[in-house]
């Protein structure tokens, strides 16, 4: 898909992966609308990319609707906004659970629902959902986050089949650990010795390449595809390895 002159909305663009994607897409000539909750940081990124900033809270349906209305006619939507929480599921605050499902799962679907009809009318567009390897394998201490990302995978696959002849594509970006503030915000630092975290810029590069090539998936790094394959073929072995080398609560 050609990006020069194409209208793009990037959610969660005020920091981390979203910010890196917004900058990278702008370097390809895209007209970028940046979204975030922090007004100053979102405006700062918008200035860097020469685009527009929209501040909205994706934890509410009203916030998603306001973002869709203000974004205007965009042909690419990159749903990057999200957050994590780490700890035993039984100890997770109920309000945090509800907010995570709203932001990490409901918001991308609601935003797609709002902006997809115009894409279908133009017979051109791409929905890009930033998922996680956690959604393909599961992670101890991140049951709700992993569930949201797994649900996004199911949504993407089903929607992709529906849109096969429409000119609108669906891409899922599947990163592993990324060097951003995500881990500090979830309440626990990344403490695995392997795999080493990748940069947000690497995720942005893979995302941009996938959009340009109309690809359905982008793994960062590529070798992470092995983990869900092992889980699918030998689930018992996978669980033993995950219990031994995975993150501890």
pLDDT tens per residue, range 191-215:
666 678 889 999 999 999 999 999 9
- Residue that wins the pLDDT comparison between 190 and 122: 122
The CA distance from 45 to 72, in Å, is 18
Give the domain CATH number at 138. Answer: 3.40.50.720
Residue 234 belongs to some domain of the structure: yes
Residue found by looking up tokens 């965009």 in the block: 74
83 is a domain residue = yes
Q: Could you tell me if residue 181 is inside a domain?
A: yes
Mean pLDDT in residue range 222-244: 73
* Mean pLDDT in residue range 71-87: 95
Task: Give a yes or no: residue 159 inside a domain.
Answer: yes
Q: Is residue 167 part of a domain?
A: yes
Express as a percent the part of the chain with pLDDT over 70: 90
- Partners of 169 in the β-ladder: 126
Residues 6+ apart with CB under 8 A from 65: 110, 114
| Count: domains in the chain | 1
Q: Is residue 207 part of a domain?
A: yes
> Does residue 1 fall inside a structural domain?
no
| Whole-number pLDDT of residue 248 | 41
Please indicate whether residue 145 is annotated as part of the active site.
yes
pLDDT at 249: 36
Instruction: Summarize pLDDT for 1-21 with one digit per residue, the tens.
Output: 999 999 999 999 999 999 999
Residue 84 has pLDDT above 60, yes or no: yes
Q: What is residue 243's predicted lDDT score, i.e. its pLDDT?
A: 62
Task: Give, in order, the Cα–Cα distances in Å from 102 to each of 82, 96, 192, 220.
Answer: 9, 10, 28, 25
Nearest to 129 by CA among 88, 64, 175, 63: 175
- Chain-wide mean pLDDT for the chain? 91
User: Would 2 be classed as within a structural domain?
Assistant: no
Averaged pLDDT for residues 226-243: 73
Task: Domain of residue 201: give its range.
Answer: 7-245
Per-residue pLDDT at 230: 74
Mean pLDDT on 138-166: 96
The first and second tokens of residue 152, run together, are 């996004």
Output the pTM of the full model.
Answer: 0.90
> Residues 42, 81, 127, 145: which is the catalytic one?
145
Tokens (6 digits) for 123: 């017979």
């Amino acid at each position: 898909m050609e990006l020069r002159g194409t209208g793009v909305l990037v959610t969660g663009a005020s920091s981390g992966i979203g910010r890196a994607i917004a900058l990278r897409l702008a370097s390809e000539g895209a007209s970028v609308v940046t979204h975030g909750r922090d007004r100053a940081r979102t405006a700062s990124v918008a200035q860097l990319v020469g685009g527009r900033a929209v501040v909205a809270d994706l934890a509410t349906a009203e916030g998603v609707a306001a973002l869709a209305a203000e974004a205007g006619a965009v042909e690419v939507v990159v749903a990057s906004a999200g957050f994590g929480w780490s700890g035993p599921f039984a100890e997770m605050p109920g309000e945090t659970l509800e907010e995570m499902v709203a932001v990490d799962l409901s918001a991308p679907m609601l935003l797609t629902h709002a902006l997809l009809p115009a894409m279908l009318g133009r017979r051109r567009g791409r929905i890009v959902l930033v998922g996680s390897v956690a959604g393909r394998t599961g992670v101890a201490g991140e049951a709700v986050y992993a569930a949201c990302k797994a649900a996004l995978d199911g949504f993407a696959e089903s929607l992709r089949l529906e849109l096969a002849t429409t000119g609108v594509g669906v891409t899922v970006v599947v990163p592993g650990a990324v060097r951003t503030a995500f881990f500090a915000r979830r309440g626990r630092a990344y403490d695995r010795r392997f795999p080493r975290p990748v940069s947000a810029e690497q995720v942005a590069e893979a995302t941009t390449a996938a959009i340009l090539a109309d690809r359905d998936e982008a793994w960062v790094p590529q070798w992470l595809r092995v983990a869900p394959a092992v889980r699918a073929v030998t689930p018992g072995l996978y669980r033993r390895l995950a219990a031994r080398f995975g993150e501890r609560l």
